[in-house]
Structure 1
Amino acid sequence: MTGFGGRLRSLRHAAGLTMDQLSEASGVSVRAISDMERGHSRTPQPRTLAALATALGLGDDEHRAFADSARELRMRTADARPRLCEPPREVADFVGRAAEIQRIAENTGRVVVVHGQPGVGKTALAVHAAARLRDEFTDGWLHLDLRGVDPEPLDPGEAARQLLRALDVSPRRIADSADERCSQVRAELGERRCLLVLDNAADEAQLRPLLPGAGGGMVLITSRRMLGGLEGVLRIGLGPLAPAESAGLLRAIADQAGDPAAAGQVDEVARLCGHLPLALRIAGTRLATRTAWTVGNLVDRLADADRRLAVLSTGDTGVAAAFALSHAQLSGEGRALFRRLAHVPGPDFAAPIVAVLAGSDPHDAEDRLDELVELGLLQADGADRYRFHDLIRLFAGERLKVEERPATRDATRQRMIRWLLGTTIVAGRWFEPGYGALPAGWTGFVPLASLEEAAFWLQTEAGNWLGALRQAGDDRLIVEVAEALHWFSDTMIGWPGWYEVFALSRDAAARLPDPRQRVVHLNYFSWAATCCAHRYDEGAEAARTAYALAVELGDLSEQSWAVQYEGHARRYAGHHEQALDAYSRALPLAEACGDHDSYVQVHLAVGQALRHLGRNAEALEQLRRTLHEIGRRPVSPRSALFVRSSGGVYIALALVDLGRLGEALTEGETAMTLTVEFGEPGMIGLAHLAIGLAHAGLGAVEQARDHLGRAVQLVHNRQNRDFAARRLAAL
């Protein structure tokens, strides 16, 4: 035999090597060497040629002659046969994905599945990673698009035919039946050190016949599905880019994005694109091809949510078109649920709200959710919650408008709002005096049989029930929801959403005929403005307005709360003497009307103000008197727990300031138990602060670091948090 194959065989014989020995020395498979010698394969790649030359011990002249024979073969076959399964062009501006590339590189002997939502950059990652690994695979790198989202994906038998031809198997040897061809592919791949990229896979059934067993090669699969039915594979879930990577991609594509003055606008474009590589690439291309545009022009176009998907389209590529390919694969029930999920007002959700939207059982809803997750149209968020990518949510909203009549859409939305707010009322009343239990005959999709379950639901679904409250359009319902949440709000004071909740109820109450409701919800709003939103002037103004209205009504209880809340606004703003003056006016009002909850909370506030004034001995006496008052008055249980836990924490802090560190540690540890029972994170953080300061003063550095570190994480008052951070740094 003449030519390259004959020369390789002659050189192997001259070196005294069998095919097995040459394979072991070079890293090139026995099958590949056999095919080269028999002229059944394409010209070897330069790295394969170099590996063979080294293993054969060729000198410079022999190496040149060997390379020349390979070059002659390449020239003869270049026009005779198209190269099949050639890898696509690698994008020059690829960014990020370092961790994913590292995982792929560490598993070169395995089948790796890269999965994720449409447009997340699965193919770009696979091609980029394969290009970095190509030198490790001496028998070549093949790429095959399985057309998994086409109406008719590539049949495994046809995929096998294309792969066998790309592997230079003689057409005469390729079997007629699909099963036999797939068997041939597995055998060929098992004997070669080849990197195979199976791009855009449809499902497990398409892939199983093609995957080889153990061998020296690697298979890298991309799919919108997780392909959970494949065993023994490494799965890498791909999410959107990190913000810095998104900005880097935009700068790599469009010169305008490289202007340092436009950095903030570049970040905004990345955010509006949801950090999705396809959207970023389209946005960057639109900017790059419109040299008169600034980044600000692009921001303006993307800011309109109704037009954003239209803007994210160029040429034959579009974000909506990519989503539509997955949407077309949904079942009828899956499509109905997908569009109705656009009604969900919050950023994430669980199966119960899905069941309400679908009009089904929660277990049936979970099956439909799994279908959406499998196709990359929905993201699993933890064990039992889900979220849309922002752009897919917009796409779902478009499908909702196209596929359902306005009356149907409105009926579904109202059903969701009623369920969310009705459940919120039931959960919130666990914390109200006079309730504290599940109402008789209540049935719902969520467990609310205890105060802990109620708190968990209210916290995790806050974005959804607040969104429903915004859309309620029923003043009486808004007021009822806010009333039910009043006592619960003390357990998550740091949540800024209370400002909006009680602003909505303040406005709704003002439109109702009951003037007392207006006063009550003005007071609630004053508390939220001061304690949650830190809008002290606004909180004080609302309290003064509430007081004036309460005087007109002769309502001493609401007068006492209004004056107390004005005192809070003064104290939070740092005007502690003014706060003490307000509290001194609130005490007799609360005493006169027998509002014991207001009375003990004013007592507590006086102690806090005294401590902030540095009058720690007086503060300590006042706080102990407060705890005594709880024991002699019929204070509601939740209010009593709040005052006992808060009072204990402030006693511990006063003792720290007085240098009585041993007592402070004892009081702080006792208070910690109560604050944990009450459940307000900020107060738990202050308990850690008191204990940490006591430990630091006593020389227990490690314990001090632990507690002060937790205080920094939990305290929501910036002044206290900064103080804790400074003390921690000092240690």
Structure 2
Amino acid sequence: MGSPVTEPPGFAELLRGHRHAARLTLEQLAEASGVSARTLSDMERGRSRGPQHRTVTALADALALGEAAREQLIARARDGRLRDRWTRPTGLCELPRSVDDFTGRTAELAWINDFVDGGGVPGAAGAGLVTGPAGLGKTTFAVRAAHALRPIFPDGVYFLDLYGMSQQPVAIDDALRLLLRAFGVAEQQVPGDPPSRASLYRSLVRDRRVLVVLDNAGSEEQVRALLPAGGAGRVLVTSRRLLAGLEGVRRLSLGPLRLEEATELLTGILGERSTSDGEPALNQLAELCGGLPLALRIVGNRLVSRPGWNAVDLAARLTNEERRLDQLSAGDLKIATAFGLSYEQLASSPRRVFRRLALVPGPDFDAALAAVLGESSIEATWDALDELVDLGLLQDTTSGRYRFHDLVRLFARDRLQREDTSVESDAVTARMMAWLLRMATTAGRWFGPDHRRPDRPDADLPLSSVEEAEHWLRANVEHWLGALRYAAKGDQHAVILDCADALDPFSDQWMHGPHWHEVFTLAAAAAEALGDPARQAGQLNSLAWVHLVPRDDPEAALRYTDRALDLATRSGATMEIASAHHLAGGALRRLGRIEDAIAAETRAADMFKAVGDIDSYCQCLGALGSCLRDAGHHAEALEQYLDLWALVNDDRAGVTPSVVAFTRPLVLARVGECLGLLGRRPEAIDKLTEATGLMAQAQLLALQGRSLETLAELLAEEGRRAESQRTYARAAEAYVAIDDADASRRCQQLATATG
């Protein structure tokens, strides 16, 4: 018997083999070749079997392939292009029917009208992009809008599902061919090469009053060639992805329905029987569905098909998260079944990652955390996450993070409970929480005075710079905060204290983060449980800072410093004594007790200088400058700030780089304020302009808002009213970012008054 005939490897297998042989990750090959990592991932999974010749040659060059291997890879791509011809029958791209009970989206429909009209701006973008997670009704919304717009598009309204979330999205060539045929171009007149097809398509869209709805786009690459280049036509794209790489498009992010709109949709589905169900019960159902049109549709259909049921009973069932998925099914609309079909297609490793991701305490996560949960390499984890995204079980973002839809998270948790023992789940949870606390502690230490990059950093703690540390802490705050809570429940007092101490310097970089009160409260309780009064004093000082800066409650801050000073004095903790004096000085200044504040800050400065804590000494000098300014001694305050400016710019002084980065824009702004108070407005404007730019780079939004207000006032006094108006508007935006609605409203009013 002869040997079995085996089919030669296809393009995907060849590319994956060459990449592994070269020991390159997808990201490394992407950087070397100029081909995006997503496109490479599609190629290796067989979703793109026949890439263009120039793409393949770029990959061959990046992989340094020999002549024979190079020719083989090019040949396999050419074969793939021939096999990839889409066999979907041509049609007229007719618009699907619109549902009669469509509800809400008034503002969004107005956005569509504005987009179609071009907003009254000549040359406005002819492409609109509607984005949002699955189940939010993007397709229903786009179809509804397109039907309403038929009268103003006499040359036709067309609809094309790009199947962007499927395993085989529509290729650009095939989309162009189908649309050209729908436009009336005869088959034999459709150009054979993609650039010519795209050119003909753009010319037809430019010259005709048409609306093209491109539904379910999966990537920028899939729609870029289908966007208009000006003219009368309009293209409306829907996608679960943000498609941030698309240029020249108008964007609309579709969110959940408001509660009243969700209730209205449910009422429309139920029809006459909604009266008997009662508004309170329908409101509760709408709230449990979270404004998700798909869930509302299922709930409504389920009630309509079962006249004996009532909304109160169904709401009671949905309240139980353990059974919510089971209840969200009506006929062939079964959310759990749809998720299950996708889940069954996964190999064991992606299944394990998917289940365990339900344990994540925050709303989204990155590949590093997923790798910890899956107990796999980062490369294998990326592959698993890509597969989950492809199957619609995860949503990814352009920032490299992933998230569940709420109902998918419930499905993942259900799978975890069914397929893993409680002992296994508890062990995975403990390992994840320990890793998160190690990461938070390591990241926080990048901002401390004694941080040194380790010669051999831990492989599972992927932080190599202060910028990476800050990004991780901000992006994963819900995770490490959840880990601190977990540690508190387990009486891991030493771990909590170490983490809080490491995070303390970083709190200056993110002073208006809402979580610091909880962090330092947990740490103070941990220190008390350990019987360590010195460290307890340190955490009480941190709580005083929380009430002094983010919460603006100087009376409460003084209560914390009094307790901290007592504990620190009894335990001989010099640093905490000095910190208590410094923080008390800030609170006293806020309360108008300037002389007491100066005395407290002077004591603190002397103590910090004596022990060589140059970072804290700098803070005291700045605080003394503020006291002098508030007392009306503007010239003396200016001298104080200039001395501090010289100190933080002296490389030999030993100020920690992160402290320098925080202090420089602050001092520069204070110099500008003093110059303004001394009547030296042009100089003041220059200093404040530079300072606010540095604050924007460092994301010091609270400081930026205040300094922008001062700058705007000075600009107005100089008669530069248009600049002043713009600056007040920027200040309002900065205050919005830190949720200070009163300050934002004040700046908006000042901007209007200035204009």
Shared fold (TM-score, shorter chain, > 0.5): yes
Change (3 A) 1:634 1:454: closer
Answer whether contact 2:103 2:261 (CA < 8 A) is retained: no
The letter of the residue matching 1:503 is T
Matched, 1:357 2:366: no
How do residues 526-537 of structure 1 correspond to structure 2 at under 5 angstroms? 526-534=544-552, 536-537=554-555
The letter of the residue matching 2:437 is L
The Cα shift of 1:442 comes to: 0.7
Partner-residue secondary structure (3-state), 1:448: coil
Matched, 1:522 2:540: yes
Answer whether contact 1:519 1:550 (CA < 8 A) is retained: yes
How do residues 375-394 of structure 1 correspond to structure 2 at under 5 angstroms? 375-394=391-410
Answer whether contact 2:158 2:213 (CA < 8 A) is retained: no
The letter of the residue matching 1:701 is R
- How far apart are the structure 2 equivalents of 1:665 and 1:115? 41
The letter of the residue matching 1:693 is E
Aligned to 1:406: 422
- How far apart are the structure 2 equivalents of 1:707 and 1:89? 46
Alignment partner of 1:204 out of 162, 165, 168: 168
Aligned to 1:730: 753
**What's the TM-score, normalizing by structure 2?**
0.64
Matched, 1:661 2:678: no
* Number of residue pairs aligned between Structure 1 and Structure 2: 582
Aligned to 1:555: 573
Matched, 1:695 2:712: no
Change (3 A) 1:489 1:302: farther
Deviations 1:235-258 (A, max 9, x none): 621589534556324224339999
Matched, 1:281 2:294: no
Change (3 A) 1:101 1:660: closer
Aligned to 2:505: 487
Change (3 A) 1:518 1:466: same
Q: Which runs of 5 or more structure 1 residues have no equivalent in the other structure?
A: 1-84, 107-111, 139-191
Q: Percent identity?
A: 33
How do residues 335-354 of structure 1 correspond to structure 2 at under 5 angstroms? 335-354=351-370
The Cα shift of 1:490 comes to: 0.8
Matched, 1:576 2:585: no
Aligned to 2:182: 216
The letter of the residue matching 1:368 is A
Alignment partner of 1:707 out of 727, 732, 737: 727
Partner-residue secondary structure (3-state), 1:254: helix
Aligned to 1:92: 101
- How far apart are the structure 1 equivalents of 2:705 and 2:330? 51
Partner-residue secondary structure (3-state), 1:550: helix
Change (3 A) 1:589 1:100: closer
Aligned to 1:418: 434
The letter of the residue matching 1:478 is I
Partner-residue secondary structure (3-state), 1:508: helix
- How far apart are the structure 1 equivalents of 2:427 and 2:561? 39
Deviations 1:270-310 (A, max 9, x none): 56424321222345568899999899x98877565445445
The Cα shift of 1:638 comes to: 4.0
Matched, 1:542 2:560: yes
Answer whether contact 1:668 1:687 (CA < 8 A) is retained: yes
Answer whether contact 2:709 2:727 (CA < 8 A) is retained: yes
Answer whether contact 2:527 2:535 (CA < 8 A) is retained: yes
- How far apart are the structure 2 equivalents of 1:687 and 1:482? 30
Alignment partner of 2:666 out of 640, 646, 650: 646
Higher-Rg member (1/2): 1
Change (3 A) 1:692 1:476: same
Partner-residue secondary structure (3-state), 2:181: coil
Deviations 1:323-367 (A, max 9, x none): 334333433333222111112222222222222222222232222
How do residues 224-623 of structure 1 correspond to structure 2 at under 5 angstroms? 236-237=238-239, 242-244=255-257, 247-254=260-267, 272-283=288-299, 305-310=321-326, 312-313=328-329, 317-435=333-451, 437-444=452-459, 448-472=463-487, 473=490, 474-534=492-552, 536-569=554-587, 571=589, 574-577=590-593, 581-592=596-607, 594=610, 595-612=613-630, 616=634, 619-623=637-641
Aligned to 1:58: none
Q: Which runs of 5 or more structure 2 residues have no equivalent in the other structure?
A: 1-93, 118-127, 185-211, 227-235, 242-252
Aligned to 2:40: none
Answer whether contact 2:167 2:390 (CA < 8 A) is retained: no
The Cα shift of 1:550 comes to: 1.0
Deviations 1:583-614 (A, max 9, x none): 52342244146255444423322433554566
The Cα shift of 1:391 comes to: 2.3
Most deviating of 336-345 and 308-317: 308-317
How do residues 8-157 of structure 1 correspond to structure 2 at under 5 angstroms? 90-96=99-105, 98=109, 119-121=135-137, 124=140, 128=144
Change (3 A) 1:506 1:613: same
Answer whether contact 1:522 1:543 (CA < 8 A) is retained: yes
Change (3 A) 1:269 1:657: farther
For the aligned residue pairs, the C-alpha RMSD in angstroms reads 4.9
- How far apart are the structure 1 equivalents of 2:546 and 2:568? 19
